[in-house]
Amino acid sequence: MKPVYYFALCAVFLFACSGEKEQQPAESKTDTATAEDTSFYAPLPAGIYPQDNPWSQEKEDLGKLLFFDPRLSGDNSISCASCHHPDKGWGDGLPRAIGFGGKELGRHSPTVINSGYFEVQMWDGRAPSLEAQAKGPIQAAVEMNQKVDELIGELNAIPEYQEMFSKVFGESGITLDNIAAAIATFERSVVSKNSTYDQYMQGDKNAMSPAAVNGMQLFFGKAKCSICHNGPALTDSGFHNIGLKQHGPLTEDLGRFNISKDDFDKGAFKTPGLRSVSQTAPYMHDGSEATLKDVVNFYNRGGDVAENRTSLITPLELSEQEVLKLVEFLKALDGETLNATIPKLPAMVETEKAKAKTKAKTKTKTKAKTKTSKKKT
């Protein structure tokens, strides 16, 4: 039977903390974890798909095609995979995403990995589900800049898509909701599991190196990582201001505050999951930390900006060796290789109208590239 995974994406700062409106929690079992203690371990479960978007292999296959298809963007140049590529940890490997027309955006592209286990999606949590998240970038002018009616027209000009949508969704056919449902179904298949950490906690005491075991004890103890990075996906799905300086083209990014309008949330971003975290550099919501060691050092010094920072972020007083051991444990969170072949996309039937639209989009794409090149020079 097909395993199912519940998604509530896009992800915040690596190692952010939770429960900020409450007092810091008292010492728990994880604060004094030992190599033999497994009480804090939670394996990644088989989840459930939403009742209004059940799984089928045909739907997942359709979603995969759409995920890699640049025709979902206004000039046919950007696909979901442009910012969430399997060869780059299901991100883009850049500090901040590149949007429509080659413009640098304000935030780092979060990984798709295990996003189905998150309660909300995007760094500020504005999307309550993967289905909602999938619609956002397609229509956003600064991201994929696609008009819905044009997209539906283009996909309807592709016989293979017509057939697949009809088989999966019946008479409703090609709609934005169905496009999003298929993409979300594919994204739910991107799951990191069976890491050396899992193997160790399930009884193979040779799976992790001694340094990684020591790092695990730090993670669940002195370094306080597990206050926020807990549960099967190692995230609390909460929002926290951890004291980062502003980086990138934005002069200010208020994060969760833009959604909640609560002053407490100014500068707060979603806690990312940590499984396969070594594959998803750079880190933080703005991509400002290049390596895992940089991230640990950031937390070790207690962050950089005091304004509105959670009281849970304080200097950790880790030694250099402890920093390195913690990094080794983070690497042990890498799951099995997530293989994903790039699919061959279905061809469009070239009607005269379709040819004219393709020509116009190609012209727009060329102008955008020329504009970007001039900026670089």
Active site residues: 143
Residue 315, preceding bond cis, omega within 30 degrees?
no
Name the token pair of 74.
């206004």
Name the token pair of 289.
């930390």
Q: How far apart are CA 300 and CA 354, in angstroms?
A: 56
Q: How far apart are CA 272 and CA 270, in angstroms?
A: 6
Spatial CA neighbour of 129 closest among 73, 19, 235, 53: 53
Q: How far apart are CA 1 and CA 60, in angstroms?
A: 15
Three-class SS of residue 142? coil
Q: How far apart are CA 333 and CA 193, in angstroms?
A: 9
For 28-79, give the secondary structure using H, E and C: CHHHHCCCCCCCCCCCCCCCCCCCCCCCCHHHHHHHHHHHCCHHHCCCCCCC
Give the Cα-Cα-Cα angle 82, 12, 283 (nearest 5 degrees).
60
